[in-house]
Amino acid sequence: MLNDNRALVVFSGGQDSTTCLFWALEQYDHVEVITFDYGQRHLKEIEVAKEIANELNVKQHLLNTEILTSYNANSLTNNDIEIDSSNDVPNTFVPGRNMLFLNIASIVAYQIGAKHIVTGVCDTDFSGYPDCRRDFVQSMNETMNLAMDLEFVIDTPLMTLNKKETWQLADELGQLDYIRYRTLTCYNGIVGDGCGVCPSCKLRADGLEAYLNEVGRK
């Protein structure tokens, strides 16, 4: 029932998920993406995801999951809360987000016959988000397989990579400039290199600088 050459990418239009999309397009014969409108700070994120999916001629499933906003008080879904990364778990963490996303993704993957679900979570760049850890992903994978009596595979191509290595992968895929200038990772909603101030932009910029220095490019 599940096709080993079909994949569904959890896709936000950010650096990591776009890198995963290009990775999946090289790995599998048929790729679709799933994007979630969960009441995030910037609708621009959804616009960027739509634009990239259209440019790459990839079918996109856009789902509303605003229940995450209704029951969560965090800076990623509430503009009135200032972004704060000083605690062990930053207030940009949206409790249950990746759990819900992967659960819904498995339902869509079931319907389209995709054995592979691709997500850009990363253990190495773990920022205090417990739902980015390898243990969590493995647990979700087992739960999905038990719930549907199938053998989904959650692919995490970035799991062991730091940001410098993620940029390296983008370059190896021939898409470094595209990912740099077309994606939206910035918490303040600025496409490309972003605001340069928020934690997400700093992590992204530091990784890019380290990679370009390593290969002797600017």
14 is in an annotated binding site: yes
Predicted pLDDT at 4: 96
Q: Is residue 207 part of a domain?
A: no
12 is in an annotated binding site: yes
Q: Is residue 78 part of a domain?
A: yes
186 is in an annotated binding site: yes
Tally of domains within the chain? 1
Could you tell me the CATH number of the domain that includes residue 68?
A: 3.40.50.620
Q: Is residue 191 part of a domain?
A: no
122 is in an annotated binding site: no
Predicted pLDDT at 92: 53
Q: Cα angle at 51 between 80 and 185, to 5 degrees?
A: 40
Q: Is residue 142 part of a domain?
A: yes
pLDDT along the chain (218 residues), means of 10: 96 96 98 88 85 98 75 48 47 68 96 97 70 89 96 97 96 98 92 91 94 91
16 is in an annotated binding site: yes
Tokens describing residue 56 = 């790459």
Predicted pLDDT at 74: 44
19 is in an annotated binding site: yes
132 is in an annotated binding site: no
Q: How many CB atoms lie within 10 A of CB 81?
A: 14
Q: Is residue 119 part of a domain?
A: yes
Q: Please count the residues of the chain.
A: 218
Residue 97: which domain range?
Answer: 3-183
Taking the model in full, what pTM does it have? Answer: 0.87
Predicted pLDDT at 50: 96
Q: Is residue 216 part of a domain?
A: no
Q: Is residue 215 part of a domain?
A: no
Spatial distance between the Cα atoms of 192 and 205, rounded to a whole number of angstroms: 10
195 is in an annotated binding site: yes
Long-range pairs, 26-31, Cβ under 8 A, ≥24: 26/173, 27/116, 27/155, 28/116, 29/5, 30/3, 30/5, 30/6, 30/114, 31/6, 31/7, 31/58
Q: Is residue 212 part of a domain?
A: no
Predicted pLDDT at 98: 85
